[in-house]
Structures are given as C-alpha cells and as structure tokens.
Amino acid sequence: MKRSDIPNILTLFRFLLVPPVVYYMLDKRFEPALVLFALAGFSDALDGYLARVYQWTSRIGALMDPLADKLLMVSSFLTLGWLGLLPLWLVGLVILRDVVIVIGAIVYNARIEQVEADPSIVSKLNTLAQILLVLSVMFSQAVYTLPVVWIDALVYSVLVTILWSGVGYVWIWGRRAWFKRVP
C-alpha cells in the first residue's frame, strides 16, 4: 500500500459505514447513527483534502467517491423517509434527481464522450443542504429536539436546490450533447 492509496481507503471505509448507519436508524438508535454519519462526513472531507493537496487522485477514486457519498445519502433519506421523519415526496425527489443524473452521465459517456465529474455550485449547495437535513433530523432524534421550523427550512432548501441543480444539469449536459453530437 502506498500513501497515495489513503483517499481510496477512506472512500471504501465510507462504503462500509452505510450498513451500520442504516441499521442504527432502523433500530431507532440515533446516537450511534449520528456519530457514524458524522464520521463518514469527516472521512469524505479528509480524503478530498488529501487528494487535492497531495495530488493523490485516481480515476477509480473519482468514480468511487461520489458513489460512496450517494449511497450514504440515498440510504439515509430512504431510511428517514421509511421511519416517517422525512416527507416521502422529498425522498422521491432526491432519488429521482440522482437517477436522472446517473442515467444522463451513462448515456452521455456511451454516446458522446467520457464524462468528467464536475459538480456545479448549486449541486454542492444541494449536497450541503441534504447533509444538514439528515444531520439535523438525526440530532433532533438523538440529542435535542430542534424546532420544526428549522427542519422545514432545510426540507424546502433541499427541494429548491434539487430542482435548481437537476434542471441545471439537464440543460448544461443536454446542450453539450446537442453541440457535440455526431452528424
């Protein structure tokens, strides 16, 4: 193992954290779920930092990192929706946006050219809003009940950024495909 493998090992660690996070939430033990979710977030920040600062990047890492993040977020949203702690319409929109983006990337990659992951600022805001919502709901269940207005504000922040970033991706990548299409 080389030091440059550390970001990919941290990403694999995040994959391994998904089942226990979901298990603890389903068991309504939100304290350990919250700790593990926060640990996953820290490992994501650390592997991103190491990859940028030391140029420890790889194609596999560039693909695995967002997959680990999506798996953790979608699993958390599904679980919190199942438990009635998040509205099911929001869970559906989170999943729909990700499915549209993934299918679009696969089709673009297969028919036009290789896709380079380049998340938009709005997409990063959406990810931040989703993380804050999941953390807030778990915190509210585990530590201290947060005001409903706080959770509602995060729910609608996620909604707005889902719609904004989803439409943005379809528009940008649709235009790229249109202008690069083979005659």
Q: Is the pTM of this model over 0.85?
A: yes
Q: How many distinct structural domains can be found in the chain?
A: 1
Q: Examine the pLDDT at 183 and tell me if it is beyond 60.
A: no
pLDDT tens, 34-74? Answer: 999 999 999 999 988 998 899 998 888 888 998 999 999 99
In 3D space, the residue among 143, 145, 136 whose CA is nearest the CA of residue 80 turns out to be 136
d(CA 50, CA 53): 5
pLDDT tens, 85-127? Answer: 999 999 999 999 999 988 988 888 888 888 777 788 999 899 9
d(CA 30, CA 97): 27
Average pLDDT of span 9-27: 97
In 3D space, the residue among 32, 30, 105, 109 whose CA is nearest the CA of residue 67 turns out to be 105
Give CA 44 to chain center in angstroms. 11
Reading the block at residue 114, the tokens are 């290789």
Reading the block at residue 139, the tokens are 């915190």
d(CA 113, CA 92): 30
* Residue 4 per-residue DSSP state: G
pLDDT of residue 182: 55
Mean per-residue pLDDT over the chain, rounded: 92
Type of residue at 110: A
Range of the domain at 78: 3-180
Between 118 and 163, name the one with better pLDDT: 163
Provide the CATH number for the domain around residue 87.
Answer: 1.20.120.1760
d(CA 49, CA 22): 26
pLDDT of residue 58: 86
